[in-house]
Structure 1
Amino acid sequence: MTTLFPTPDFPTIPVKGESAGYPVMRIFCVGRNYAAHAAEMGVEVDREAPFYFTKNPLHTLASGQTIPYPPGTENYHYEMELALVIGKPVFRASKDEAAAAIYAYGCALDMTRRDLQLVARSKQRPWDLGKDVEQSAVFAELTKAEDFGEVGEQRIHLEVNGESKQSSTLNLLIHNCVDVVADLSKFYHLQPGDVIMTGTPEGVGAVVAGDRITGGIDGLAPIELTIGAAE
């Protein structure tokens, strides 16, 4: 059936060593997955199971671009994260099946209208206005899981205008990548095109127009984002 107006293609993320990109069809995000970040947000850590929110896949943005400061906020935050992507269908997965379903890893930024998120949290409302923001899911080039190796003590870090803001290690994830995939597969039929952002360490903070964000994770392509003036 034809459509009444043009529809966009799914965005893609480049993959190291591949000419074709990884299509982004769904984005799942893990909340409060580092204890120190939960503490700085004034909440307790839930170690029993991860919890999730989502972003529209059309909010995907490639590393290295400049975006306008978003509307409706005066407190726009960076969150540096490890992203993983699914390479084959998996449902109600064992840990071995979950590990085998991870196709690649990459650096990501979960950009957040923090003031709107906190208002929603205080009223026990969904976080959509704070988290599901246009151009807020930023991804660097992916590295295949077999080339990256086991997720462990790799450093994760972020800088604003060259000044260090976030610095931690991936072994401090409360719910590791395999456990997250296994848990999420209890609720969704995960499939290629699914991206999972695994959470941010402590040190989140606001950026303003003109700021340049850089970040990285040992063994992965670095990430970069510049904040432009508001539209």
Structure 2
Amino acid sequence: MNYAIAPSPTVSLPIHGSEQRFPIRRVFCIGRNYADHAREMGATIDKETPMFFCKPADAVVTDGGPVPYPQATSDLHHEVEMVVALGSGGKDIAADQAQALVWGYGVGLDLTRRDLQAVAKAKSHPWDVAKGFDHSAPVSALVPAAQAKPDAGTVLRLTINGSVRQQATLGDMVHNVGEIIAALSKLFELKAGDLIFTGTPAGVAALQRGDSFHAELEGIATLDGKVV
């Protein structure tokens, strides 16, 4: 292929215990998927209409790399989430068939410029600039689904500088993984390489330059990093 400019490299994630990597196509996120987080944000949940947004693939921070404090904000917030990687896709997928699409699992942070989000909400504007900025999606190495079986009792946790900020079990999710995939597939044709951030529990708060974080999907995946 003869390109006018050099194409950007494919963004990819490491695979736990393998030299292979997982190429990223799209990054989907669900909002308000833990009731306690919705309450702390003063929001309500419409279970019949899940709320989705996207981040660009090149917003993903891989391999435990440093996270630069973003421009245009003074209120950067952490949101720890289980991340699901798809190995296949489709449209209008039934929830009871959706699990078969899952290639693997990881843990990540949906970083948010909360001050810009507040302005967008007040003006009924989209959240793109609050959510889809550079380096806004640190993600761990992925663990193949054949080796990892998160369930309702699996703990999702985030510590900042050694102190627990967020903790919940996956059973607290409003929509489970199958329901999230099914709902997304009614809006987009899902494909191999898609990542899905599955929502965050209560406890979101500000990050400062120099903060170290440890995110954990207990017994499955961990992510360590630092805001610089």
The Cα of 1:49 is off from its aligned counterpart by: 2.8
| Aligned position for 2:79 | 79
- Once the two structures are TM-superposed, the CA of residue 140 in structure 1 deviates from its matched residue by 0.4
| Cα RMSD after superposing both structures | 1.2
Counterpart of 1:62 in structure 2 is 62
Question: Do 1:63 and 1:224's aligned partners in 2 also have CA atoms closer than 8 Å?
Answer: no
Report what 1:190 is aligned to: 190
**Corresponding residue for 1:151?**
151
Residues in 1 aligned to 2:152 and 2:14: alpha-carbon distance in whole angstroms: 24
Amino acid of the structure 1 residue aligned with 2:136: S
2:113 is equivalent to residue 113 of structure 1: yes
Which residue of the partner structure matches residue 128 of structure 1? 128
Instruction: Find the residue that maps to 1:205 and give its secondary structure.
Output: coil
User: d(CA) in 1 for partners of 2:48 and 2:183?
Assistant: 11
CA-CA distance at 1:95 after TM superposition: 2.3
**Consecutive unaligned residues in structure 1, runs of 5 or more:** none
Structure 2 match to 1:215: 215
5+ residue gaps, structure 2, are: none
Segment drifting more, 120-129 vs 14-23: 14-23
Aligned length: 228
**2:67 and 2:160 mapped to 1: Cα distance?**
15
Distance in 2 separating the partners of 1:64 and 1:16: 13
Aligned residue in 2 for 1:206: 206
Tell me, yes or no, if structure 1 residue 27 matches structure 2 residue 24.
Answer: no
Q: In structure 2, what residue type is equivalent to 1:111? A: L
Q: Secondary structure at the match of 2:6?
A: coil
Q: After TM superposition, give the deviation of residue 221 of structure 1 in Å.
A: 2.0
CA distance in 1, matches of 2:140, 2:86: 16
Deviations 1:162-206 (A, max 9, x none): 011001111000000011111111121111111100010000000
3-state SS of paired residue (2:89): coil
- Once the two structures are TM-superposed, the CA of residue 96 in structure 1 deviates from its matched residue by 3.2
Instruction: Give the AA of the match of 1:167.
Output: Q
What is the CA distance between 1:146 and its match in structure 2?
2.5
What TM-score comes out, normalization by structure 1 length? Answer: 0.95
Residue 138 of structure 2 is matched in structure 1 by: 138
- Tell me the percent identity: 36
Q: Which residue of the partner structure matches residue 14 of structure 1?
A: 14
Q: Matched residues in 1 for 2:64 and 2:19: separation?
A: 19
Paired position in structure 2 for 1:5: 5
3-state SS, counterpart of residue 223 of structure 1: strand
* Cα offset, 1:63, TM superposition: 4.4
Write the deviation string for residues 9-56 of structure 1: whole angstroms up to 9, x where unpaired. 221111223321111110000001000000010111122231100000
Kept in 2: contact 1:63–1:225 (CA 8 A) = no
> CA 1:49–1:153 in 2, change beyond 3 Å: closer, same or farther?
farther
What is residue 46 of structure 2 aligned with on the other side? Answer: 46
Tell me the secondary structure at the aligned position of residue 68 of structure 1. coil
Q: Partners in 2 of 1:210 and 1:146 — Cα distance?
A: 36
Q: TM-score, normalised by structure 2?
A: 0.96
